[in-house]
Chains A and B, each alone.
Chain A
């Protein structure tokens, strides 16, 4: 199954799988273990809504799938099992079964996805946050040994990033009604009149200050995500 498939494919599939698994929430995902091919990740985030609401959002798997992006569709087969259809390479689709192992309303969801391209098991826990801060959500995902090869092309950082992005998305949709996008922003990088000539008329270099200016910061001046 692994041979000849590129890393981007696995990136997508892993995301869908994690997503499928995940109930999510976590602003930061930390790799917590790497032994014997099993890789575990923890993500945690606080959502400013009561546990009942957060749990209900999670438990509604088709809704969860819609919120995550890159998940084409989730069909519930029965109380335990659902079929997740996620985007594969090009316009292809990949599907796999997610089986719920535990479902404790307002407290916990656990699942397993053995047949997924990236086999894994996961658990999401909901705890009331102190004060009026909503619900603490902790997500644990373990890629099972047979899946380790499949995850191979993905760096641990990348998986953690995918999980935390997904968690962030869920938080945004629950709290704000939508996940704000950075896509489609207009900028001079796509300017219609952008000419390579450094001295073109529309452009001007500001004259330096008379006193020495501090140099730019030690981090790159560019380098934000696209």
Chain B
């Protein structure tokens, strides 16, 4: 089994808010991240796929294709967007780094053909990242 990681970057804004919480609870749990005007990050995304090497091409996955899928499914939707207002899954889900990793997994997994998705890693800053392995 070979593991291959492709990196991408995107910039987006977000805020954290749960309409079922009182304003006080929202403030206590989310702190500054609760500001409805949002704030932004430069996210770094690392997508790791795994598979056996195809004996003809010598590839686990065609990087061109992986890049296309990544651009179409993730970057076109999220780069330079206000996640809460422009990315449908975040109309209802809070766009935390955890949920971003899950959402990116859900966008990519059905579109990858030859290789299998192993891990989605999202860095919100260089001091904070989340890994999602597709676990229930």
Are chains A and B native binding partners rather than an unrelated pairing?
Answer: no
